[in-house]
Amino acid sequence: MMINDAKEFIWTQPQLLLLPGLMIFFSVMAFNLLGDALRDRLDPAQERH
Contact yes or no for 20/3 (Cβ under 8 A) = yes
Domain definitions of the chain by residue range? 2-41
pLDDT at 48: 65
CA distance 46 to 5: 45
CA angle 37, 49, 38 (to 5 degrees): 10
HSE-CB of 47 using CA atoms within 13 angstroms? 1
pLDDT at 29: 99
Which pLDDT tens digit goes with each residue over 1-49? Answer: 777 877 788 888 888 788 888 999 999 999 999 999 999 999 878 776 6
pTM above threshold 0.75? no
* Residue 43: alpha-carbon gap to chain centroid: 24
